[in-house]
Chain A
Amino acid sequence: MFDLNKSGSSVMNKQERLSRQQSFEREAMLHLDALLKAANRIARPRLDAEDVVQETYLRAWKHFDSFEAGTNCRAWLFRIMFNVIKARSGTLAKRIETPIGEEIELENRPSNVLFFDPLKKIEGQEALSAATRLSPEHREVLWLVVVEEFSYREVAEILEAPVGTVMSRLHRARRELRRLLITDSKVVSGVRL
C-alpha cells in the first residue's frame, strides 16, 4: 500500500493515461480539502500549505500505480504529505520531548493558581487556535487521530514512527492542549480563586 519505490509506468497509451487520470481524480482528489486543512494547521508557518499539498498530489500522481485500489487512499496521501513536509523543513534541530515524569499534574495544582471549570463548554475556535500553537510533533499527531480519526497504526505509518511513540506524543499533545486552554481561559476571563 505504501510502496513509494515502485516508479510510475513509463510506457502507456493515451487511453490508459486518461483512465489513470480519471481514477486519480475520483479517488485522490476527493481528499484535497482534508489535506489542505491539515497542511494549513501543521505545515505552516514554516512552509506554504498550498505548495506542500500540490507537491503531495504530484508525487501521488507519479506513484499512483503503486497505490493499491481499495486500500486507504487518504492514509496514503497523508503519508506522502508528511514525507514532503519532512523533506522541506529542517528537522535537524533536536526535538525535545518532555519526559513523562516531568509533566505537570493538572489535578494536583495548587488551588490558588487559577480557576477553570474543566467541563465548561470549550469553544471550537479556542481549541483550534490552541492546537495550532502546539509543537509540530504534537499538533500533527493530534490532528491525525482526533480530526482525521486515523487509527494509531495508520498514524504510525503516516509519520513513520513506532506506535508507542505515537501514543506517548498523543498523550502529551492532549495534556498540552488542555494546559493551553486553561491558560487561555485565564486570559479571557481573568477569574481566579
Chain B
Amino acid sequence: MNCGETKDLIQLYLDNELDARSTLSMQQHLDSCSGCSRQLNILLFQDQALKQAARGEIIDSSRVRAGILSAIAQETQAETPHQTTNWLPTHWFKMAAWPRIAAAAAFVLIAAFLALRGGWMPGVNETVYAAVAADHAAHCSADAMMGAVNDPDELRQLIRASAKVDALPDLSAFGYGNPQGRVCKVGDAEFLHLVYYRNSQPPLSLFLRHHGSTLITEQLTALHSGNFNVVSVSQGGVDLLVVSSLTEDQTSSITRALASRLLQ
C-alpha cells in the first residue's frame, strides 16, 4: 500500500471497516511511513477526545424515564393498547385498504396525463402531481402518520420552518380538523405534508413547499384521476397542492380559500 491508497482508506481503517487483508497492509504501511501515521493520529486523537467526553458526560434521565414508564404502565393497564387513534372513526380503518390500490392507479394515470401536458408551476414538475397523490394515499391514515407532529404550536413551527408560511391552515369551515404534519419526500422534492381528518370521510392532504421562484401561477390547476382530485396553486414563493376524494369543485374551493388566506 502506498501513501495515496492509505489516504483513501484511512477513515475506514480508523472505523474498523476494512477487511483483514487491507487492515494488515495498512498497518504495514503505517509502521514505515511517519506522514501517514501522523495523519492517522490526528484523526484518532480527535475521535478519542470526542468519544471520551461524550461518554463521560453525566445526564439526568430520570424525568424522561419516569414519563416513559408511566405511559407504558397506563397502556398496559388499559384494555385497548392503542388509545391514541381512538378518535378516528372505526369506519376509516375498514376503508384503509383502498387508498393504496387507488394510489397505484392514480400514479399511472396522472403520470401519463402529465407526460402529455408537461408541468405548469414554477416549483412543481409533472412527477410531483403523481407523487403527491401516491403519498397522500400512503400517509393519510392515522397509523401512517404515527410520529407526525400534531400539536398546533409545533405544527405552526414546522410550517414556518419548512414552507415559510406563517399560519396553520384552518379547514374547520370545511369540516376538517385534527391536522397532523410531517415532511415527506415526494419525487425529488421535500414537501410539508399535512393531513386533515373529518368524521367518516376520507382524509384530505395539503402539500406545501417553499421555492425561490417569484413566478406566480394564480389560476388553479386541477387534475382528476380515479379517486383523487389534486388542485394546485403557486403563489408567494409557495407551492400548495390539495389532494382529496371530494369533487373537483370542492377541492378547488378549499385550495382557493387557503391560497387567499395563506399565500400572500
Contacts and interface: CB of A to CB of B under 8 A. Distances in A.
Contact of B42 (A87, A131, A142, A178): A178
A124 B71 contact: no
B148 interface: yes
A61 interface: yes
Interface stretch (A4-12, A66-74, A185-193): A4-12
Contact of B81 (A17, A41, A90, A178): A17
Contacts of B192: 90, 92
A40 B53 CA distance: 14
Contacts of B75: 61
B49 A37 contact: no
B82 to A, nearest CB: 7
Interface string B14-42: 01110000000000000000000010011
A50 interface: yes
A89 B154 CA distance: 9
B174 interface: no
Interface in B61-85: 61, 63-65, 67-69, 71-73, 75-76, 80-82
Interface stretch (B106-114, B155-163, B221-229, B240-248): B155-163
Contacts of A50: 63-64, 67
B149 interface: yes
B143 A7 contact: yes
Given A91-B183, A152-B15, A29 B51 contact: no
A86 B159 CA distance: 14
Given A37-B54, A91-B190, A92-B163, A151 B17 contact: yes
A126 B42 contact: no
Interface residues of B, number: 57
Contacts of A121: 45, 49
Contact of B71 (A58, A87, A152, A174): A58
Contact of A33 (B38, B47, B59, B182): B59
Contacts of A145: 15
B104 interface: no
A92 B188 CA distance: 12
A32 B63 CA distance: 11
Interface string A41-64: 100001000100111011101100
B10 to A, nearest CB: 10
B196 interface: no
23 contacts: A10-B82, A24-B72, A25-B69, A32-B61, A40-B59, A50-B67, A57-B72, A59-B147, A88-B158, A89-B183, A90-B157, A90-B192, A93-B161, A93-B162, A121-B45, A121-B49, A126-B49, A127-B46, A131-B54, A145-B15, A146-B47, A152-B17, A170-B11
Interface of A: 7-10, 12, 17-18, 20-21, 24-25, 29, 32-33, 36-37, 40-41, 46, 50, 53-55, 57-59, 61-62, 83-84, 86-93, 118-119, 121-128, 131, 142-143, 145-147, 151-152, 167, 170-171, 174, 177-178, 181
Which 4 A-B residue pairings sit nearest by Cβ, starting from the closest? A124-B53, A90-B162, A90-B161, A92-B162
